[in-house]
Amino acid sequence: MFASFEYLQWQELYQRQKPYEVFFPLSTLGVDADKIPRSNLMFETKSLPIKDVRGRMHEYNLDDQGFAFSTHSLSGNADLKDRAYVESSYIPLMGDFVKEFIEEPSARTFCFDIRVR
């Protein structure tokens, strides 16, 4: 089975300017939106095989693949559709989980987007 994924496409521009995208109106900064683009991102689509990793999760790690698999057991009363619960309990819990997973207890975690569906 194959699926299409979009990746950031390397641009020479990124040698002198970090990739960016602005998610709010540039006018709030007093910037002329016609003179500065909201983004300098360019993407490319690649078709990649999708594989079942059950039983092989240990073969993937952040250093080599840029992602890793792990498990975490939430309490039985975790309501991920309840925004108040997500903000007050789930996000801090996941922040602590990430710190433990990467073995950096003093790391700072920041949730920049949540979407309760």
Q: What is the pLDDT of residues 37-69, one digit of tens each?
A: 889 999 999 999 999 999 999 999 999 999 999
pLDDT(117) > 90: no
Nearest Cα neighbor of 57 from 101, 99, 106, 100 is 101
**Residue 29 backbone phi and psi in degrees, to 5:** -100, 0
Asked which of 16-30, 49-63, 74-88, 101-115 is least confident by mean pLDDT, the reply is 74-88
Q: Which tops the pLDDT comparison, 78 or 96?
A: 96
Strands 2-8 and 43-49: antiparallel
What mean pLDDT is reported for the chain?
90
Summarize the confidence of residues 79-86 as an average pLDDT.
Answer: 89
Q: How far apart are CA 63 and CA 41, in angstroms?
A: 24
Q: Is the Cβ–Cβ distance between 39 and 20 less than 8 Å?
A: yes
Burial, 95: exposed, middle or buried (Cβ in 10 Å; 0-12, 13-18, 19+)?
middle
pLDDT(25) > 70: yes
Asked which of 26-30, 45-49, 60-64, 83-87 is least confident by mean pLDDT, the reply is 26-30
Tokens of 81: 């559709």
Nearest Cα neighbor of 9 from 17, 22, 19 is 19
Q: How far apart are CA 57 and CA 101, in angstroms?
A: 14
Summarize the confidence of residues 9-23 as an average pLDDT.
Answer: 95
pTM higher than 0.85 for the full model? no
pLDDT(74) > 80: no
Beta partners for residue 48, in sequence order: 3
